[in-house]
Every structure is written in C-alpha cells, then in structure tokens.
Structure 1
Amino acid sequence: MHNAPYYTAAEQNREPILTMLREVFDRPGLVLEIGSGSGQHAVHFATFLGHIEWQPTDLPEQLPGIAQWRTLSGLDNIRAPLALDLDDDTWPVSACDEAYSANTAHVVPWALVEHMLAGIAARLRPEGRFCLYGPFRYGDRHTSESNASFDATLRQRDPRQGVRDAFRLEEYGQQVGLSLVADHEMPVNNRLLVFQRDTT
C-alpha cells in the first residue's frame, strides 16, 4: 500500500481522456500539464503515451503527492513536478510542444483562466495543441441540469468560480493566438476542448 493522494474522479475519467489524447498528442515532444492535482493523470497518460515526456505542475503544496506517484510509477518520461501558480507571470517552463489541463478552469477566477491560456500560447510551438478538459457551458446554456447545479454550487462557494463559457474561452484564445479546433463530448457531461497554436 501507498499513501499517495488518490482522487476517484481521476480514475474514472482517465480512460476516456486517454483515448482522445492518443489522437491529439500523436508526435514525440514535451507535454506541459497545468494543475496536475494528485499526479494520477500524469502517471496514467505517460504510461500509455511513451513517445511523450510529461511535465506536471501545480501549486507548491501539491508537489509532494505528485512526486510520490512519479516515484511509484518508475517511469522515466515523467519529469519532476514543478511549482506553477497561475497568478504568477513567471512560469518554470519556457517552451513545450503540447499542453493539457483538467478540471481547472471552473475552480480558478476568470483572470487566471486568461493567464493560463496566454501563458500556454506564449510557450507552445506553432501548431502545438492544448487540451482543456472539464464541464463547459455555451453562452447561457448548460449541457445538463447537473452541470447547472454544479455551476450554482461553485458560484455560491466563491463568486469567482463557475462553469466556463466555451464561446468566451474560444474568443479569448483567439486573442492570444490559440484557435479552438475541436470540441469533444466526454462522459458525465464533460468536454475536451482542443486549441491549436497559430503559426503566425
């Protein structure tokens, strides 16, 4: 047994996400993960995407747990986790080939969602992809009643949180050089948005 942090949701959604990442991250390179959480996704994806190198990042307090998962995995294509605070303009990674983040956009203020998109756009290679997983709405339309209820719960807890509008994400992405190229339906009313770095 181990005492590494364990999130049931990360186990439940990892296979559907991996299926999509196999298609999107089809070239060797470095994947920057924003908000790695427990580190479970990093280990699972690096296990089955051996052609990529995975760079987990999160707030400093999360790093020990991620490091535990990395050690338990024995994988050599996962880098040591790095501290990354979206509220800080200084990122520990200067360039990456692809990027990934799951269940982050709805739990940070919109200003930090903008920081995430802009920071990734500044570091992605031309035509590099950024996969953003989570619940999203489309204007005022939620994709399910449960998502609408989840959104209300988030906003009651912290008015700066909430299920993000995919249209607004697409609009801001365009401003910083990221084009939304795919929007995949995922289980349990989630989506996987795929942005691509513009070549100019």
Structure 2
Amino acid sequence: MPGDGDPAAKRHAPATLRNRDAIAAVLADWLPETGTVLEVASGSGEHVVHFAAAFPHLEWQPSDPDPAGLISIAAYRAEAGLANIAPPRALDASAPEWPIDRVDAVLCINMVHISQWAATVGLFTQSAKLLQKGAPLILYGPYFRKDHPTAPSNSAFDDSLRARNAEWGVRWLEDVTELAEAKGFALAEIQEMPANNLMLLYLRM
C-alpha cells in the first residue's frame, strides 16, 4: 500500500473545496445504489474521502499514476477512517491493462484536459472492459462545445495548459463523445456546473 497515512504527505487542491458539493449533488442522481466506484486520477485524495462520506452505501476505489498522489490519497484515507475506501491503486489511464477486474461505476474528475489524449482513449477503452451494460462513466471538467459560446476563462485556461504541455488542453465535447461511442458508450446527460465546467454521464451500451 502506498504510504502509511502520514498527515504531512497530504496534498491540497483548492478547487476541490469549491466543487465537491456541487459534484456530489449530481452524483446522487447518477451513481448506482450499490457496488464499487473506481475514481481514475484521484489526485490529492480529497474528492474520494468526501464522496465516500456522502455515499456510504458505495465502495470507493481511488487511483492515480503519481506516487506522490498515492501517498497523499493514503494520508487522507487514514485521516478519514472510512471503511468504504479501499487503499489507492497505481493506475495510468493510458496503460494497456488496468489492475482492476470489474467495477460498477467509473468517475474521472479534471483529468481529460490535464493529460495526453491517450489517457482519455485509455479511460474509455478500459472502462468498457470493466463496466456492465448500463453502468456509468462520469466525467467532470471544462469542455468546448460546438454551437455554444466559449467562456473567456476556458479559452485562457486552454492557452495556459498548452503552454505547459502541447499535448494538454480543453477538449471538444464532440470529440470525447465520438471516442466514447467508438468504445461502446452513449452520452446520456450533460449537466452544466459552476465555473464553466460540465459533468458528463456516459452509459455502457
């Protein structure tokens, strides 16, 4: 297991405190009543402990490719002391195989724009193997949409991302949905969120 729950290892993502309640309100309608939720790219671990407390009827499996992130997740998990959070798994979304056999839902917050496109391809490819028909893959983050005005803040954010890494950037919703459909998912719902973000509900076909 990564780390030993050292509180000094905890990372903090300021956006988490701002968006976690709004995300949880949508998850209340989109998550299954029972089962295991895999969070891909859990980051600091702040989201997963909040959601595990809000949805105690579900088992939560955090994951991240970053060793420092895994240590932070373990620290938040230890502090929370919740029985429904599994130890974090090392998981690279773009990997050809994931170290997980089956889950009942997949949640991915703020990864698609801060990663190479291959990570999004892997997310849908591997989730299609894990999820049963009708199970949800839920995304949260900023997206561009055709026939919708682009918020200036999202354009500026996209510029800053691409300046940091040419393979990062705010994605077009239509491109993500085309990929999703090719991998066996259907876009079931779009929920507009604060700060020009979207939540996207894809269901396994």
Alignment TM-score, normalising by the size of structure 1: 0.95
Partner of 2:118: 111
Partner of 2:4: none
Partner of 2:201: 194
Matched, 1:35 2:45: no
Structure 1 position 143, deviation (Å) = 3.2
Gap change, CA 1:164 and 1:140, over 3 Å in 2: farther
Structure 1 position 26, deviation (Å) = 3.8
The Cα offsets for residues 88-116 of structure 1, whole Å up to 9 and x where unpaired, read as 21211111100101000001111221111
Partner of 2:167: 160
Matched, 1:51 2:57: yes
Contact persistence 2:94–2:123 (CA under 8 A): no
* Aligned residue identity for 1:128: A
Structure 1 stretches of at least 4 aligned residues deviating more than 6 Å after TM superposition: none
From 129, 137, 142, the counterpart of 1:135: 142
Matched, 1:19 2:25: yes
Question: Secondary structure of the residue that 1:188 maps to in structure 2?
Answer: helix
Identity %: 36
Structure 1 position 68, deviation (Å) = 0.5
Contact persistence 2:185–2:202 (CA under 8 A): yes
The Cα offsets for residues 11-65 of structure 1, whole Å up to 9 and x where unpaired, read as 1100000000011114101001000001000000000101110000001411111
Unaligned 5+ residue runs, structure 1? none
Contact persistence 1:54–1:79 (CA under 8 A): yes
Equivalent-residue separation in structure 1 for 2:11 and 2:42 (angstroms) = 12
The Cα offsets for residues 71-130 of structure 1, whole Å up to 9 and x where unpaired, read as 100100000000001232121111110010100000111122111111111111211001
Gap change, CA 1:60 and 1:8, over 3 Å in 2: closer
Matched, 1:84 2:91: yes
Matched, 1:93 2:100: yes
Partner of 1:185: 192
Query: How many residues align structurally?
Result: 198
Partner of 2:15: 9
Alignment TM-score, normalising by the size of structure 2: 0.92
Contact persistence 1:136–1:142 (CA under 8 A): no
Contact persistence 1:143–1:189 (CA under 8 A): no
Equivalent-residue separation in structure 2 for 1:167 and 1:197 (angstroms) = 17
* Aligned residue identity for 2:45: G
The Cα offsets for residues 140-162 of structure 1, whole Å up to 9 and x where unpaired, read as 85530000111111112211110
* Aligned residue identity for 2:46: Q
